[in-house]
A and B are shown apart, each in its own frame.
Chain A
Amino acid sequence: MSNQELLGKKPLQILEKIRENLEKLNEKMEVMIELQKHRRKDIQTIPTDAPLDVMTLLSMPDHLRKTAMTVCRLGRATADEIAQQTHRARAVESAYLNQLVVMGYLKKERHGRKAYFYVDKEGQG
């Protein structure tokens, strides 16, 4: 690789990194906005790594139940894939999904620029 190529690639990598960080920041802000909307106290009392069983699904607020049930059905999905099923905006689903991660019901895994959400069935118990 020539010096010129290295020089050309570095700014690109930096920009990619900035974009990734902005996306992460954006997701965190979406969670904060949602927490504000749906009364923060409802969410904070729940322990982390809680099992997402049907009784838990039943006790959830409607907007989160819809998202959680879709993740259960798909097994593992991105916010985009969930949004396609629920017919709600990707940003909204992203916020709900991250909220469910904060609550301990879902796990999140990043692969490059994509974030996958899933129910951690093996890690519990």
Chain B
Amino acid sequence: MGKMVAVHSYKGGTGKTLLSTNIAVTLAKHGRKVCLMDLDFRAPSLSTLLNVSKTECWLNDYLNGVCEIDKTLIDLSGRIGNQGKFFVSLANPSVEAIRDMSAKDRKWEMRALGRILSLRNSLLNDMGFDYIIFDTSPGLQYSSINAIVSADIVVVATTLDNSDVEGTKRMLRDLYDLFEKKTELVLNKIMYDDSLRAGKEKLQSLVKDTYEVPLLGVIPCFCDISRAEGKIIFVHEKPDHPFTKILDEIAAKIEKT
């Protein structure tokens, strides 16, 4: 039985897209059949990141009920060396589509939740996917909460920025807890020296005391990632980079969860 994983955060710029893409590709490289979905309809980024401009249908069309999910799937397995199966389903990046998605009413959002929940049957059960990874919008957006409600695991990306810490704490208490979600935290953009000095155990107890959830991983601030300018799938292009090793550990933990 496959799993649905939502990657979420309180604030923007915490590394959700970086994390979700690289977790998806790492799982695929571990031989899994993975689908990465862009649920960030307000600021779609996967089509640019993965350099895909055309698709038979967008994920928007599936949620609008005009096509089935298989029509939105794009097979990018060839890009990662055919080690596993890597599919994507993308949010339409056109301004018109963003405007359309942000004007949806509560009834539409209710139907959208039903369609996201039914992916468990269509993708995981019928099409044999092992993982669906949702890249989401930050904060309390409808599409993100729909993903959180549907997911088996929520991975929360956070930095040590003070407003992010406080917001993330509130979100853990007032959102994930209410939905009884299994939540794991990834600390991103940690200054390398700090993480070395503090040591893994100290960071783990800090996270446990502050957020009361398990720590899935710590990602130091890598200039190489900034330098890549979001143009490459990091774990694929840089297999020996420390970031890739960390993502390997994160993916392995998700597989055990």
Contacts and interface: CB of A to CB of B under 8 A. Distances in A.
Given A72-B113, A72-B114, A72-B117, A55 B149 contact: no
Contact of A55 (B114, B145, B180): B145
Contacts of B106: 51, 53, 55-56
A62 B149 contact: no
B114 A121 contact: yes
B117 A73 contact: yes
A14 interface: no
A89 B220 CA distance: 48
Contacts of B142: 53-55
B110 A119 contact: yes
A125 B106 CA distance: 10
Nearest to B147: A54
Interface in A40-86: 51-58, 62, 65-66, 69, 72-73, 75
A62 B118 CA distance: 24
Contacts of A53: 106-107, 109-110, 113, 142
Contacts of A73: 117
A79 B110 CA distance: 22
Given A72-B149, A125-B105, A58 B117 contact: no
Interface in B63-117: 105-111, 113-114, 117
Contacts of B145: 54-55, 58
A109 to B, nearest CB: 17
B179 A69 contact: yes
Given A57-B149, A58-B175, A121 B117 contact: no
Contacts of A65: 178-179
Nearest to B121: A75
Contacts of A125: 105, 107-108
Given A57-B149, A69-B149, A72-B149, A51 B117 contact: no
Given A54-B146, A72-B114, A121-B114, A62 B108 contact: no
A121 B146 CA distance: 15
A11 to B, nearest CB: 45
Nearest to B111: A121
A124 interface: yes
Contacts of A62: 178
A52 B117 CA distance: 14
B112 to A, nearest CB: 9
A44 to B, nearest CB: 20
Contacts of B107: 51, 53, 124-125
Contacts of B113: 53-54, 72
Contacts of B149: 54, 57, 69, 72
A115 B109 CA distance: 27
21 contacts: A51-B107, A51-B110, A52-B110, A53-B106, A53-B109, A53-B110, A53-B113, A54-B113, A54-B142, A54-B149, A55-B109, A55-B142, A57-B149, A66-B180, A72-B113, A72-B114, A73-B117, A119-B114, A121-B110, A121-B111, A121-B114
Interface of A: 51-58, 62, 65-66, 69, 72-73, 75, 119, 121, 124-125
Given A51-B110, A53-B113, A75-B114, 9 more contacts: A51-B106, A53-B109, A53-B110, A54-B149, A55-B145, A57-B179, A72-B117, A119-B114, A125-B107
User: When A and B form their complex, which 5 residue pairs have the shortest distance between CB atoms, in order from nearest?
Assistant: A125-B107, A54-B145, A53-B110, A51-B110, A51-B107
Interface of B: 105-111, 113-114, 117-118, 142, 145-146, 149, 175, 178-180
